[in-house]
């Protein structure tokens, strides 16, 4: 196994690519009771058009298949549900689907190997019938309708609509009631056989393990499959401009919600640079409107911001954007204030003392993530899907200078790439 060590935080990662193409990552945490395993496939909501390896067949699938498949994987031919089975063992089990991957996981202190038996059994043995697929359409249809009425989700989806015209990031992860009506067992098996091949999967294990021993236990439970080769994914051409500047809807909320977005046109153009850029963006966002910023203090004391805004940078090969969201009685004022502070930073540069203070805070946040087996495992999986090693955030930290952050500010925080989504209070008729 290849060993990667971060001397700064005294953590080791053991990584092995198996003969079938599957990647296994082990992060030992000696003397820790909790254990965590997550098994992910590089198949998310944006992967709705692809060319199948070997057959070279081009496939279009309905929106929401990755999420639908995740739901169906637990069902067994004998009528049992593997999620219930895992929970009955005293394990905290779950699964989730994102834009770029699907993951199955559990956390425990006892019964780890029993749980691993169940996890590796259900993920490798799909069971789809006309009857159970039709039944699931009703369940997921209800979930979709529930999210349609969820103000926070509507806020996010409308922000994506502002930034992107044809990019599949705009697609709801669960799809739509209409799109899931077209899902059949044949569609699910085709996607399963393509994307759930070991060569497209990563397993991350974190806890008090001997790396060689746990690797052998994983290998013993693998169903024999050949590496299938690369899946060619087809995405729309990248868009250089935003779709529209503003989107507003009225919903049942007590205070308006806002989401300000900056579309990052460059995105992951340089994979070697992306970690450094991500760190710089996190520092900049905290300086602009983070909890310790003058802007936040001023807006909060004036009653314009009700709490600390959420700050995020989402990126993959196909999209990249910054999001600033929160609650405010006057979203327009928040937008103008943020624009003003960014312009001031561009013209006068960043305050060195403030920059260094926030930089240390961000580093502290990275280090704290290594206290939780769950945070570690999920982080290593998500980063690996993007082609990043999670330790890079610790190693690249010192390379992010004030001057570098100022360049990122000018390149990414551009007024022409700024959008705003608002969910306003429903007006009385």
The position carrying tokens 């053991």 is: 14
Nearest partner of 355 among 322, 396, 400, judged by Cα? 400
Residue 279 sits at φ, ψ, to 5 deg, of -60, -45
CA 349, 351, 354, 355 dihedral sign is: positive
Going by their DSSP bridges, the two strands 246-251 and 418-425 should be labelled as: parallel
> C-alpha angle with apex 316: 315 to 317, nearest 5 degrees?
135
**Burial level of 403, CB count in 10 A (0-12/13-18/19+)?**
exposed
Task: Report how far Cα 306 is from the mean position of its chain's Cα atoms.
Answer: 26
Nearest partner of 195 among 17, 22, 395, 351, judged by Cα? 22
70 is catalytic: yes
Adjacency order of strands within the sheet including 418-425: 246-251, 418-425, 257-263, 320-327, 310-315
**Burial level of 97, CB count in 10 A (0-12/13-18/19+)?**
buried
On the CB side of 238, CA atoms within 13 Å amount to 13
Buried b (16+ CB within 10 A) or exposed e, 249-265: eeeebeebbbbbbbbbb
Q: In whole angstroms, give the CA distance from residue 245 to residue 257.
A: 16
Which string of DSSP letters, residue by residue, matches 264-295? -SSTTSSHHHHHHHHHHHHHHHHHHHSTTSHH
Q: Catalytic: which of 70, 107, 118, 318?
A: 70
Active-site amino acid positions: 70
């Amino acid at each position: 196994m290849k060993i990667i060590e971060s001397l700064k935080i005294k953590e080791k990662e053991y990584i092995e690519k198996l003969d079938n193409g599957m990647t296994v990552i082990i992060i030992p945490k000696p003397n820790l009771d909790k254990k965590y395993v997550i098994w992910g496939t590089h198949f998310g909501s944006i992967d709705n058009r692809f060319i199948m390896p070997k057959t070279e067949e081009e496939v279009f699938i309905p929106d929401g298949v990755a999420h639908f498949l995740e739901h169906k994987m637990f069902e067994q031919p004998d009528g049992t549900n593997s999620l219930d089975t895992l929970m009955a063992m005293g394990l905290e089990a779950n699964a989730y689907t994102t834009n770029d991957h699907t993951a199955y996981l559990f956390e425990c202190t006892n019964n780890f190997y029993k749980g691993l038996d169940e996890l590796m059994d259900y993920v490798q043995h799909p069971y789809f019938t006309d009857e159970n697929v039709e039944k699931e359409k009703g369940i997921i249809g209800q979930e979709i309708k529930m999210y349609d009425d969820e103000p926070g989700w509507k806020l996010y989806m409308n922000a994506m609509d502002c930034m992107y015209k044809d990019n599949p990031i705009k697609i709801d992860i669960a799809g739509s009631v209409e799109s899931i009506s077209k899902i059949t067992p044949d569609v699910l098996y085709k996607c399963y056989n393509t994307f759930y091949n070991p060569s497209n999967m990563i397993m991350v294990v974190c806890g008090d393990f001997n790396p060689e021993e746990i690797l052998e236990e994983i290998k013993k439970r693998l169903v024999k499959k050949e590496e299938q080769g690369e899946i060619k994914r087809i995405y729309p051409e990248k868009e250089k401009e935003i779709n529209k500047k503003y989107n507003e809807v009225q919903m049942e909320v007590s205070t308006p919600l806002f989401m300000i977005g900056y579309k990052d046109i460059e995105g992951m153009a340089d994979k070697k640079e992306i970690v450094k850029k991500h760190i710089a963006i996190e520092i900049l966002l905290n300086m602009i409107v983070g909890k310790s910023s003058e802007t936040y203090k001023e807006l909060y004391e004036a009653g314009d911001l009700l709490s600390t805004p959420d700050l995020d940078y989402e990126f993959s090969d196909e999209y990249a954007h910054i999001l600033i969201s929160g609650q405010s009685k006057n979203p327009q004022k928040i937008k103008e204030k943020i624009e003003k502070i960014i312009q001031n930073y561009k013209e006068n540069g960043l305050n060195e003392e403030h920059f260094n203070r926030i930089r240390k805070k961000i580093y502290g946040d990275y280090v704290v993530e290594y206290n939780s087996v769950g945070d570690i495992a999920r982080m290593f999986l998500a980063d690996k899907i993007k082609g990043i090693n999670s330790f890079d955030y610790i190693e690249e930290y010192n390379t992010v200078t004030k001057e570098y952050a100022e360049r990122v500010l000018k390149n990414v925080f551009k007024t022409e790439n700024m959008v705003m989504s608002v969910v306003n209070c429903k007006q009385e008729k």
